[in-house]
Chain A
């Protein structure tokens, strides 16, 4: 009964293709390098960095080694989109309270005002702690350059804007090798639900 076999095989194929893992893209510029006659793809990677967190402790890329992290850009006195972003980040923080593989890294774009003690007060009010959620400050130009060149988001001073800065409300999903695997609108609950779906995929494969 060969046709029965065909049914069986195609059914198996169908099931297999449905359960096959969705793969996350690598965002940013790819480079190809030829090493010993083999072509290698080099993905865009977040470069080394060093900032002070809310506890006045240095945080660098080394602290993110082996961690999947969500990065964002904000400032503590921001009245518009940051409260929405923080609402969503608190949701992520709670959801992954027991998962040591996951970190949140919030960069202030108003470092002149957001000194570590200001970030500390803010973190205390949100009842969150480093190292699971680092809020970092440092050299303004270094933060802006990292934001625009590496995380591919907008972060600029703008006197015409409420609060004095423009920035995107993006959440950037970064894998354990510091490659960007997704960018989401952190002000929208359903977009952050997508982030969670993708994060779950990363947790299984990364």
Chain B
């Protein structure tokens, strides 16, 4: 079993540990920390949007409305769907990050 990785929030300096198999948001909540807002915990609502500035991670399924495919390259991800593969540094998404990411996802229109 790999040791849990250390997650550090740039905004407030909060640190917590997260094993590879657990979402960063879930690990934070389980350890009673409050650095990232908690919404659906399942990649749908966009509340936990962060930018990973350092480290490697794997991402689970995320709503493309909040993280369009072309933007995950830049390190944006929903913290509830981020599974660390090394220590991570991250920061909360700003209002302007959110504005530049928000797109009308076309898939909603096809569902007739």
> Does B associate with A?
no
Q: Which chain B residues have a beta carbon within 8 Å of chain A's beta carbons?
A: none
